Structure 1
Amino acid sequence: MASFLSPTTAQGQTITWWVEELEKRTDGKVTVETFWDASLLGAEEIRDGVRDGRVELGNVSYAYTPSDFPLSSIVEVPFLGDNMGAQTSALNELYATDEAFRAEWEDKQGIKVMSFVGVPPALTGTKEPVTTVDWYTGKTVRASGFFVKALEAVGGNPAAIAVPETYEAMRTGTVEAYGGLILDVITPLSLHEVGGHIHDPGLGHYASSTWTMSLDTWNSLSPQVQGIIEELNAEFPNQLLRNAERTEDEACTQILDSGGSASKFDEAEIQKWKAAIGDAPMKDWIAKATAAGVADPAAMYERFSGLYTSAQSAEYADYVPGIERCAGRGR
């Protein structure tokens, strides 16, 4: 197994649980050798490593090869919501029931998805508290993915800076804020030391990750082992949420104890940003899905949105994002 993550992250802890449970439930017949922190393959290499059999398991981020995953970039359409459990559930259900969406991974990549990994809302960190969209005008902000276009829509200047280089960019003033990160990633990178005022601008989810297996490996396993893995995959999302809650709350404590703050834009400011962005992200995704051969992309998005809404109002109705819990503690 290759991962670019630390095993201490919520996703890393959940993968560790999955691996240990697989070994336990198969009575040691299946074992996994783990390589963390990009020690075997870098983040941009894991997709190919799983696909060509250098590793059997890996956490894949489609964002490193976005042109190969036009349908999976459905998560980049902003303002859907901020419920991590609902996003994971909706993506898993779409993968299970939509042939075109599943084919993007299995037929075109040779990869079997164990579970999609939802992400909390994208956050921004600054040296001062920020409460309005207007603050971004003229500011240089570390950004990636759809957050680049979101910034441009309100007069911000996005800077393509790698995550590991963000601390130095903030320290030296190369950027005035960092965006597109999640709560329990901010503190391990010590970003709260150079930008400890964390806010949720209300854009919602910005990406997703994926826990994967080589399709060839999957097909080589016995039905019994496949059944055990399917049980683990079904348990994976809730295990992820439990781990995320713990790591987010630990990060919140560090941020607040260091003199930082946590907040979320009020609804009027979110609507201001939504109006500025318009429907461009949806149009971009529909164009990519159409080029990928989907006959009715709007129907696919409507189904995804409906699955999300159903999960948000049912199984994950009690979910509260870490930034919201943290903002409550800081009041």
Structure 2
Amino acid sequence: MFTARIRRSAVLLGGAAAVLLLAGCQGVVDQGGGGGGDGGGGGAAAPEVTLTLVTSAIQGTPNAAVQDAFLDMVEERSEGRIAFERTEAYSLCNAQEIADCVRDGRADIGVTIPDYTPQYFPSTSVVSIPFIGTNWQAIMQSLHSLHVDNDNARAIMDRNGLHHLATWPVGRVLIGSPEPIAGPEDLDGLSLRVSGPLAQRLFEGAGVNIVALPANEAYEGVERGLVDGVAAGMDFPVNYKLMELLPHWTDPGLGEYSSFGMWMSKSVYDGLPDDLKTIVDEAAAELSTGLGNEAYVRQAAEQCPQMLDADTVEDLTQWDPAVTEQWRTETGDSLLEGWVELATSQGLEDAQGVLDDYLAGLDELADVQGEDATLDCVAAFASR
């Protein structure tokens, strides 16, 4: 049995140690007899590979649903040969250190927001470019293809000791505030929690004071007056309870602004038998070509009723499309150019080519439309 968790003490196997050292992770391989049987005990065979998961996707959120859909699929298709030790969100590693936990071997698979450690993920931060991504399914699928087919996108993951599994949007950005926000001019002078380097740049241009807070600290930040509000997905008002503090929520029409990523330690992935690598990669592909969206939307549909029923929420609206278009026109290509400059500074080779491939993927997948739970909820508020 190969266990990919860290072992801090010597492991004895029937009196003889059989230790396989993998880069970044100390694993244990059972080379004894038994042929994967139940050892005569009558129970189920132990998994060949046990992978420790660290995550910042809290249970009950759509992001956790996407994560769990992948984990369940791999365990099922491997017929138990791969098992996941599923730690609770934030329990083993903080959100900001999850990528490092996977890179240094404290964990084997990580799920968190790449923007917390952007230096490792320049190829996925294209999600944060405002105005270009409103098709959730196309974004996830294009990002998956990018990290399979684009040599430079793959290389940056390899350089950082990670094997890309999936990246998916966190949901359309909503602005939560004490007073209604109907256009960029209403943002001037506010302090907001905003994630995503290009979204932050856009809001700063409108006069917003950006305060960096991880998701699990946003409630306290608003409660203590560190920020006036947030620009974030539906998880924030519902799962992080910010609808208790902020009565006004609006969709400014920027589309998706940030993402969750899921990666495996490259050394652990490289150490898997070829048939298990195939199972992992096929599951990642299926997640990105539809299964992830189904899981996300199914869970997201449970968020809207909670907002509808909250007596602290006064409205959930959407900006006039003409207002959004004017803001987009004023930015021109500056955000696209800004992303190329940023990604290049973080070590991504041919960032312009990576961006071109990503945008081409969005165009090719324009007709592959998944459901949009946020827009459905805005419509539900309007019809009350």
TM-score normalised to structure 2 length: 0.78
2:128 pairs with 69, 73, 76, which one?
Answer: 76
Deviations 1:221-251 (A, max 9, x none): 2222222222211221323222222332222
Q: Counterpart of 1:246? A: 298
Which runs of 5 or more residues in structure 1 are unaligned? none
Deviations 1:3-62 (A, max 9, x none): 122132222223223223322322222221111211111112221222222222111432
**1:2–1:133 Cα change, 3 Å:** same
Alpha-carbon contact 1:263-1:323 (below 8 Å) kept: no
Alpha-carbon contact 1:10-1:247 (below 8 Å) kept: yes
Bigger shift: residues 92-101 or 62-71: 62-71
Secondary structure of 1:32's partner?
A: strand
Deviation of 1:254 (Å): 1.1
Alpha-carbon contact 1:131-1:265 (below 8 Å) kept: yes
2:118 pairs with 66, 87, 92, which one?
Answer: 66
Secondary structure of 2:87's partner?
A: coil
Alpha-carbon contact 1:71-1:288 (below 8 Å) kept: no
Residue 65 of structure 2 corresponds to residue 13 of structure 1: yes
**1:92–1:257 Cα change, 3 Å:** same
> 1:277 is aligned with what amino acid?
T
> 1:93 is aligned with what amino acid?
S
Residue 183 of structure 2 corresponds to residue 132 of structure 1: yes
Q: Counterpart of 1:328? A: 379
> 1:234 is aligned with what amino acid?
A
Residue 360 of structure 2 corresponds to residue 306 of structure 1: yes
Paired with 2:354 and 2:68, the residues of 1 have a C-alpha distance of 33
Bigger shift: residues 200-209 or 160-169: 160-169
> 1:284 is aligned with what amino acid?
G
Alpha-carbon contact 1:184-1:247 (below 8 Å) kept: no
Q: Counterpart of 2:271? A: 220
Bigger shift: residues 259-268 or 37-46: 259-268
Alpha-carbon contact 2:170-2:258 (below 8 Å) kept: yes
1:190 pairs with 241, 244, 257, which one?
Answer: 241
> 1:268 is aligned with what amino acid?
A
Deviation of 1:105 (Å): 0.4
2:202 pairs with 150, 153, 176, which one?
Answer: 150
Deviation of 1:202 (Å): 1.6
Bigger shift: residues 121-130 or 182-191: 121-130
Paired with 1:229 and 1:162, the residues of 2 have a C-alpha distance of 29
TM-score normalised to structure 1 length: 0.90
Q: Counterpart of 1:209? A: 260
Which runs of 5 or more residues in structure 2 are unaligned? 1-52
Paired with 2:285 and 2:207, the residues of 1 have a C-alpha distance of 43
Q: Counterpart of 1:279? A: 333
**1:324–1:192 Cα change, 3 Å:** same
Bigger shift: residues 61-70 or 187-196: 61-70
The alignment's C-alpha RMSD in Å is: 2.1
**1:219–1:163 Cα change, 3 Å:** closer
Deviation of 1:122 (Å): 1.6
Paired with 2:323 and 2:148, the residues of 1 have a C-alpha distance of 37
Q: Which has the higher helix share?
A: 1
Paired with 1:311 and 1:55, the residues of 2 have a C-alpha distance of 34
> 1:11 is aligned with what amino acid?
N
Larger Rg: 2
> 1:294 is aligned with what amino acid?
E
Paired with 1:163 and 1:114, the residues of 2 have a C-alpha distance of 22
Deviation of 1:100 (Å): 0.5
- Percent same amino acid among aligned pairs? 26
Q: Which has the higher strand share?
A: 2
Deviations 1:65-106 (A, max 9, x none): 222333332222221121111110111111111101111102
Residue 255 of structure 2 corresponds to residue 200 of structure 1: no
Paired with 2:210 and 2:58, the residues of 1 have a C-alpha distance of 27
Q: Counterpart of 1:3? A: 55
Secondary structure of 1:165's partner?
A: helix
**1:55–1:151 Cα change, 3 Å:** same
Alpha-carbon contact 1:153-1:277 (below 8 Å) kept: no
Alpha-carbon contact 1:71-1:289 (below 8 Å) kept: yes
Deviation of 1:123 (Å): 1.4
Bigger shift: residues 27-36 or 8-17: 8-17
Bigger shift: residues 30-39 or 241-250: 241-250
1:40 pairs with 92, 99, 115, which one?
Answer: 92
Deviation of 1:174 (Å): 4.3
> 2:349 is aligned with what amino acid?
V
> 1:231 is aligned with what amino acid?
E
Alpha-carbon contact 1:143-1:160 (below 8 Å) kept: yes
Deviation of 1:304 (Å): 1.0
Deviations 1:99-132 (A, max 9, x none): 01111102x1121111222332221112344322
RCO higher in 1 or 2 (8 Å CA, sep ≥ 6)? Answer: 1
Q: How many residues align?
A: 325
Residue 349 of structure 2 corresponds to residue 294 of structure 1: yes
Residue 151 of structure 2 corresponds to residue 99 of structure 1: yes
